[in-house]
Amino acid sequence: MAPVKVGIAGLGTVGSGTVNVLQSSAADIARRIGRPIEITHIGARRPNPHCDIGDIRVSADVMALADDPELDILIELIGGTTVARELVLRAIANGKHVVTANKAMIAEHGNEIFAAAAEHGVDVAFEASVAGGIPILKALSEGLAANRINWVAGIINGTGNFILTEMREKGRDFADVLKEAQELGYAEADPTFDVEGIDAAHKLTILASLAFGIPLQFDKVYTEGISKLTAEDIRAADHFGYVIKHLGIARQTSDGVELRVHPTLVPKEVLLANVNGVKNGVMVEGDAVGPTLFYGAGAGSLPTASAVVADVIELARTLAVPQADRVPYLGFQTNGLSDQRVRDIDEVECSFYVRLHVRDRTGVLADITRILSEQGISIEALHQQDVDGDSPVPIVLLTHTVRESAMRQALEQIGALGDVIGDIMRIRVDTLGA
C-alpha cells in the first residue's frame, strides 16, 4: 500500500525526537498499520544535529506544509500560539489531519480549532500536549470512558518537578536547576511558563475538558507557580510529614468544577509524593474504577515523540474513518459538552500550611490564634522554632479544613499585626484521597 505522508513543522527538541522515533521504529510501525509512514516535508529554519533528515524536502516557511497537497497529516511542533494557530487552521482548511504537542495552542484556541476541524471533517490529536509520553488523554477519553470522573490531580510540569526534587534532595539552588532543565530541553521557550504554573494550567485545562466533558476554559484556571517556595518551606513540610509538589487539580463538586494549579503539601506516603525529577504522575479517580495513577516522563525529546508518533499511528490506521465516527476531540460529543460553572478559588475548601516570621514578643502567638479562631479556623499542628537573640521567630502551622475566603481574610489580618515580619507563605494541603 502507498505510504501515509506526514510533514513535520518545527525541528527542535520534540521535532527531532519525532524524526528519530519515526525512523527507528519504521519497520514496527509498518507492521502495526499495514503500510509505511513517510516524512515527506519538514518546516525548519535550520538543521538540527540531533536528527538526520537525509534528502527530505525542507521549507523555511512552515505554511508551505499546510499547502502541500501531498501531506495526509501535519505535525505541528513549532510551539507558541500565533503562527502555530494560523498553520494548524490552514492545514485543516486544506483537509489535513493535525497532530500537535502544543498545549498552549490547544488550551487557548482549541475550541476554535476543533470547530474548524469538524467543519472540514479532519481530526486533531494532541496526546503529547499533556504529561509528555504518558498516554493520559487516551486513558481519559477511551480507557476510563465508562466512569464519571470525580477528580484529577497531577504533577504535570516536568521542569517544575525537576526543580523541586533537586532543591529537596540535593539542596540545590532554584536558578541553577532551572538552567539545567533548559539545557536538557525540558523547559518551555519562555521558562516562566513552567515556574509560574502557566504550562501546568494549559495542561489542566485540557485534562479537565476530557475528564468532565466541558469546553476548554484556560482563563478560569486559578494559577500559582513555584518561584516563591523556599528551602525553609521544603524543610518545614518535611518536618510535618509532607512533600511539596506543584499540582494541577480538577475536581467535580455538586456545585461546579474546581480548576487550580498551585504548590501543594502531599503526605509523604502518597504515591504522587514520590514522583520525582522530570517524571510526571497523574491520579484520576473515577466512580467505577476508583483511584488510578499514570506515571512516566513528562518532558524530553523521545518521551514526547512517543506520544506524537502514537497519535500519527492512530490517524494513519483510521484515515478512511469519517470524523463523526472517530473519538470526539474532547472525548465527549461537542453538542454533549456541559456548561457547568467553574468555582471561584474563594469557594475551595482545604487545609493549609502557613509559615510566617514574628518578633519574639509575649502575646503575638495569642493574637495569631485569636484571628484564626475568629475566622473559624482551627489549628492541627504548630511549630515554633527556637532562635538566638532578637532574630525573627519562624512559626509554621497546619490548619484543619477551611474555606479559602476565610483563610485569606485571616492572613490579611495577621499580616497587618505589627509584630509579623515580611511575607506570609500559605500552601494548600491535599491528602489526595488517602
Ligand X SMILES: N[C@@H](CC=O)C(=O)O
Question: Annotated catalytic sites, by residue?
Answer: 203
Question: Among candidates 265, 110, 281, which has minimal Cα distance to 200?
Answer: 281
Q: Is 225 in the site for ligand X (CB under 6 A)?
A: no
Strands 124-125 and 97-100: parallel
C-alpha cell at 161: 518537578
Least distance between Na ion and beta carbon 134 (Å): 5
Residues 6+ apart with CB under 8 A from 114: 124, 329, 330, 334
Instruction: Find the shortest distance in angstroms from Cβ 26 to ligand NAI.
Output: 21
Nearer to ligand NAI, 42 or 266 (CB): 42
Give CA torsion, residues 12, 16, 17, 20, to 10 deg. Answer: 180
Q: Is 307 in the site for Na ion (CB under 5 A)?
A: yes
| Element spanning 263, H or E | strand 256-267
* Calpha distance 28→268 (Å, rounded): 41
Cell numbers for 225: 507557580
Q: Which is nearer to ligand X, 92 or 187 (CB)?
A: 187
Contact residue for ligand X among 18, 141, 157, 375 (CB under 6 A): 157
- By the criterion CB under 6 A, which residues form the site for ligand NAI? 10-15, 43-45, 62, 77-79, 83, 101-103, 128, 132, 185-186, 188-189, 299-300, 304
Contact 222, 341 (CB under 8 A): no
Rounded CA-CA distance 75/327 in Å is 19
According to CB under 6 A, which one of 16, 100, 159, 209 is a site residue for ligand X? 159
Q: How far, in Å, CA of 419 to CA of 411, rounded?
A: 14
Nearer residue to Na ion within complex by CB, 40 or 102: 102
Place of cell 511539596: 244
186 near ligand X, judged by CB under 6 A: yes
Q: Is 298 in the site for ligand X (CB under 6 A)?
A: yes
Residues 99-116: b if buried by 16+ CB within 10 A, e if exposed = bbbbbbbbbbbbbebbeb
DSSP secondary structure letter of residue 222: E
User: Residue 104 Cβ, how far from ligand X at the closest point, in Å?
Assistant: 10
Q: Which is nearer to ligand NAI, 127 or 430 (CB)?
A: 127
- Of positions 123, 127, 188, 430, contacts ligand X by CB under 6 A: 188
Q: Which of residues 127-166 bind Na ion (CB under 5 A)?
A: 127, 130-131, 134
Q: With respect to ligand NAI, which residue has the nearer C-beta, 76 or 285? A: 76
Q: Which is nearer to ligand X, 207 or 356 (CB)?
A: 207
CB atoms within 10 A of CB 432: 20
Of 7 and 132, CB closest to ligand X: 132
Contact 186, 162 (CB under 8 A): yes
Per partner kind, with CB cut-offs from 5 to 8 A, the member of ligand X, ligand NAI, Na ion, none near residue 194 is ligand X
Size of the site for Na ion (CB under 5 A): 5
- Of the candidate spans 185-193, 217-225, 366-374, 408-416, the one that interacts with ligand X by CB under 6 A turns out to be 185-193
Cα-based torsion angle of the residue sequence 313, 319, 320, 325 in order, rounded to the nearest 10 degrees: 80
Q: How far apart are CA 106 and CA 94, in angstroms?
A: 19
The least CB distance from residue 306 to ligand X, in Å, is 13
Q: Which is nearer to ligand X, 199 or 311 (CB)?
A: 199
Spatial separation of the C-alpha atoms in residues 245 and 281, rounded to whole Å: 11
Q: What whole-number distance in Å separates Cα of residue 128 and Cα of residue 125?
A: 9
Residue 43 interacts, among ligand NAI, ligand X, Na ion, none and using kind-specific CB cut-offs from 5 to 8 Å, with ligand NAI
Per CB under 6 A, the segment of 138-146, 181-189, 247-255, 383-391 that binds ligand X is 181-189
Strand, coil or helix: what is 244? strand
Let me know if 423 is exposed, middle or buried by CB neighbors in 10 A (0-12, 13-18, 19+). Answer: exposed
Report in angstroms how near the CB of residue 106 gets to ligand NAI at its nearest: 9
Q: Considering the complex, what minimum distance in angstroms separates the CB of residue 306 from Na ion?
A: 9
Provide the terminal-to-terminal Cα distance of the chain, rounded to the nearest Å.
52
Residues 124-153, interacting with ligand X (CB under 6 A)? 132
Q: Binding partner of residue 157 among Na ion, ligand NAI, ligand X, none, CB under 5 to 8 Å per kind?
A: ligand X
Which of ligand X, ligand NAI, Na ion, none does 154 bind, CB closer than 5 to 8 A by kind? Answer: none
127 binds, among ligand X, ligand NAI, Na ion, none (CB under 5 to 8 A by kind): Na ion
Can residue 263 be called a binding residue for ligand X (CB under 6 A)?
no
Which residues of the shown chain bind Na ion in the complex (CB under 5 A)? Answer: 127, 130-131, 134, 307
Which residues of the shown chain bind ligand X in the complex (CB under 6 A)? Answer: 132, 157-159, 186-188, 194, 199, 298-299
